[in-house]
Structure 1
Amino acid sequence: MTRPRFFPDNFTLTLVGTVALASVLPCRGATAHAFNWATNIAVGLLFFLHGAKLSREAVVAGATHWRLHIVVLLSTFALFPLVGLALRPILQPLVTPALYAGVLFLCTLPSTVQSSIAFTSIAKGNVPAAVCSASASSLLGIFITPLLVGLIVASQTSAGGSPWGTIGSIVMQLLVPFVGGQVLRPIIGGWTDRNRSVLRFVDQGSILLIVYVAFSEAVNQGLWHQVPPTALGGLIIVNIILLAIAMSATIVVSKRLGFNREDQIAIIFCGSKKSLASGVPMAKVIFATHAVGAIVLPLMLFHQIQLMVCAALAPMWGAREMHTTETRGTSPQDLIDASDP
């Protein structure tokens, strides 16, 4: 039976179940302490696997396309935060202050890796460039996201802290495991490539554990009493606005700068998406002294919205490209114009 296009994927359904479990049976006391210790290990394992799975050859293959990468990085780390700040008079009344802090945190995060590459491939875009851009975004986010959180989130809300106050934790819990994975890739890279389907469950299991602990702490502090249903509805609207602006901007800018269709596809999918896999553990480290349930809630909703939108667009653009490449008697420019996303 084929899954409807806009039906949530299994991982999203499991995330919802994890939040529901934490709402009904949150961990407390000594159990919470043990789970917090386990999440620290899970965060390190998650970034170790990110490093081990990142192919240097694929990165080198697309690294020369520097103009494309600059556009993607500017969209990810400049456009999103600026939009989040500029639209504060519109966005903040729709959500609670804690959720708005989560929205700003969302705006500082790096792009996704796996799904950006997958959607670029489905849409017949520049896959090597997407691999390089998404990977570079994920790596640079280890440094840029904490700085942006300190400069933007802390200055606009009561959440967050000094960007330099968390740098040691970021280095030890995120960067060191990531570098360790890269160093060991020549030894374990073949094994990780052959077992990606198995390691995906390790990735997802780590995220689910972190989400459970984060929401347990938030529920213990009265999260659902502080977040009314109207705020959740407003949060969905906020996420749709952010994604619409990001996708529209990447479409317009990539066309105006003269990128071909394949490059446009890579820019759109890499420059408009945010990483749940990186965002959840980063929130755990950066907001160590705060209940991070409300911080990651906007990211969880944005994750599903971006997947649904991209799942609708990528096959459509890919099918259009196949149709136009079969067309005879048209110029290359006509093909590009006809298949513009």
Structure 2
Amino acid sequence: MSLRRLLPDNFTLALLATVVLASLLPCRGETARVFDLITDGAIALLFFLHGAKLPRQAIVQGVTHWRLHLTVFASTFVLFPLLGLALQPLGHALLTPQLYLGVLFVCALPSTVQSSIAFTSIAGGNVPAAVVSASVSNLIGIVLTPLLVGLLLASHGGGMSWHGVLDIVLQLLLPFVLGHVARRWIGTFVDRHKPLLRLTDQGTILLVVYTAFSAAVVQGLWHDTPVGALVSTLALSALLLALVMTIVTWAARRLGFSRRDEIAIVFCGSKKSMASGIPMAKILFAGQLGGLGALVLPLMIFHQLQLMVCAVVARRYAMRGDHADAEDRREAE
């Protein structure tokens, strides 16, 4: 594993630059309202394109390997929230209230798609199952994540606008469904222009991060967030990721999954989507933009951490697979 693979990618550097820009030159007043309108349109376009990208057969095939998908679902939407609640004493002791609520928000999010598939492929896992599992996780997450967020935050002193659940339907689910319906006409174009979707993904996230941190900086984010709390957020995120990956790996082996299926379960069941999470946060917490910057900080930290850790784990899986293949060849000879 080279050091280069552990360094932040260009998008992470762009995120950090956006946070710095918002800290130094936050948008205010009428400019902020214009940015909000642009961001809402970008979010709707993002989910429209995601709907157009998802093949119908990916949804249908989700039924055929139900044990694997159910295991990923349980990790994403049951294990993560339970661990988030279990870490409450540490969260309250080490983090600010907004940062801990941000950790709970991370626990309610769906899995990633692109990186889950990429790491499963690198490790030699069941790529078709990863495609279906990650895609279905995001589809279900559009509806389930707002409900989980409401339950988790309402019971721990946080709050979200329940009107935001309706906004999720209008701004995320409706464009997603329309995009999926339109796939028969634009699916080929979307498949041929995948960089367009990636650009929309990243551009939308950067817009939301800029507007969120601008509002948070105006409200005094950096004055109210100690450096120690940021370091503790990193440590708590690392602990959360380590617990999930350990438990999911153990469960996959206890349930008798093959090595290829185990890899898909580990990488799909241990990740959280920033592409879905930040737009959702923008809608769900629309009434408290002053706190949105702190709420999405844990997600940004967890996102980079999961990429670095999974890169190492994927390479180790691949090396063990190569060793096992070599042993099989020697025995065959």
Taking structure 1 as the reference length, the TM-score comes to 0.93
| Partner secondary structure for residue 166 of structure 1 | helix
Residue 178 of structure 1, aligned match among 176, 179, 183: 176
| 1:138-157 paired onto structure 2 within 5 Å | 138-157=138-157
2:201 corresponding residue in structure 1: 203
Amino acid at match of 1:225: H
Separation in 1, partners of 2:174, 2:61? 25
Is the Cα–Cα contact under 8 Å of residues 46 and 197 in structure 2 kept in the other structure? no
Deviation at 1:329, TM superposition (A): 6.7
Q: Deviations along 1:213-233, whole A, 9 cap, x unmatched?
A: 011011111000110100000
Is the Cα–Cα contact under 8 Å of residues 120 and 126 in structure 2 kept in the other structure? yes
Deviation at 1:330, TM superposition (A): 8.1
Separation in 2, partners of 1:329, 1:39? 55
Separation in 1, partners of 2:178, 2:331? 49
Deviation at 1:62, TM superposition (A): 4.9
Separation in 2, partners of 1:149, 1:128? 30
| Partner secondary structure for residue 286 of structure 2 | coil
Separation in 1, partners of 2:275, 2:147? 19
Amino acid at match of 2:176: F
| Partner secondary structure for residue 158 of structure 2 | coil
1:268 corresponding residue in structure 2: 266
2:210 corresponding residue in structure 1: 212
Separation in 2, partners of 1:299, 1:76? 15
1:85 corresponding residue in structure 2: 85
Q: Which runs of 5+ in 2 are unaligned?
A: none
1:189 corresponding residue in structure 2: 187
Separation in 2, partners of 1:187, 1:22? 39
| Partner secondary structure for residue 27 of structure 2 | coil
Is the Cα–Cα contact under 8 Å of residues 62 and 69 in structure 2 kept in the other structure? no
Deviation at 1:175, TM superposition (A): 0.2
Taking structure 2 as the reference length, the TM-score comes to 0.95
Q: Deviations along 1:235-275, whole A, 9 cap, x unmatched?
A: 00010011001100110000000000000000000001000
Structure with the largest fraction of helix? 2
Q: Residue 115 in 1 paired to residue 115 in 2? A: yes
Is the Cα–Cα contact under 8 Å of residues 101 and 153 in structure 2 kept in the other structure? yes
Q: Which runs of 5+ in 1 are unaligned?
A: 333-341
Q: Residue 236 in 1 paired to residue 234 in 2? A: yes
| Partner secondary structure for residue 83 of structure 1 | helix
Distance 1:161 1:172, change over 3 A: closer
Is the Cα–Cα contact under 8 Å of residues 109 and 141 in structure 1 kept in the other structure? yes
1:65 corresponding residue in structure 2: 65
1:339 corresponding residue in structure 2: none
2:136 corresponding residue in structure 1: 136
1:336 corresponding residue in structure 2: none
Separation in 2, partners of 1:330, 1:187? 52
1:337 corresponding residue in structure 2: none
Deviation at 1:202, TM superposition (A): 1.8
1:338 corresponding residue in structure 2: none
1:95 corresponding residue in structure 2: 95
Separation in 1, partners of 2:65, 2:119? 19
Deviation at 1:31, TM superposition (A): 0.2
Separation in 2, partners of 1:87, 1:21? 33
Separation in 2, partners of 1:140, 1:58? 13
| Partner secondary structure for residue 155 of structure 2 | helix
Separation in 2, partners of 1:121, 1:253? 21
Amino acid at match of 2:94: L
Amino acid at match of 1:226: D
Once the two structures are overlaid, the 10-residue window that deviates more, 195-204 or 221-230, is: 195-204
2:252 corresponding residue in structure 1: 254
1:34 corresponding residue in structure 2: 34
Separation in 2, partners of 1:159, 1:112? 25
Once the two structures are overlaid, the 10-residue window that deviates more, 321-330 or 282-291, is: 321-330
2:23 corresponding residue in structure 1: 23
Q: Deviations along 1:112-149, whole A, 9 cap, x unmatched?
A: 01110111011110111111111111011111111111
Is the Cα–Cα contact under 8 Å of residues 154 and 161 in structure 1 kept in the other structure? no
Deviation at 1:312, TM superposition (A): 1.2
Deviation at 1:153, TM superposition (A): 1.0
Separation in 2, partners of 1:100, 1:5? 29
Is the Cα–Cα contact under 8 Å of residues 61 and 128 in structure 1 kept in the other structure? no
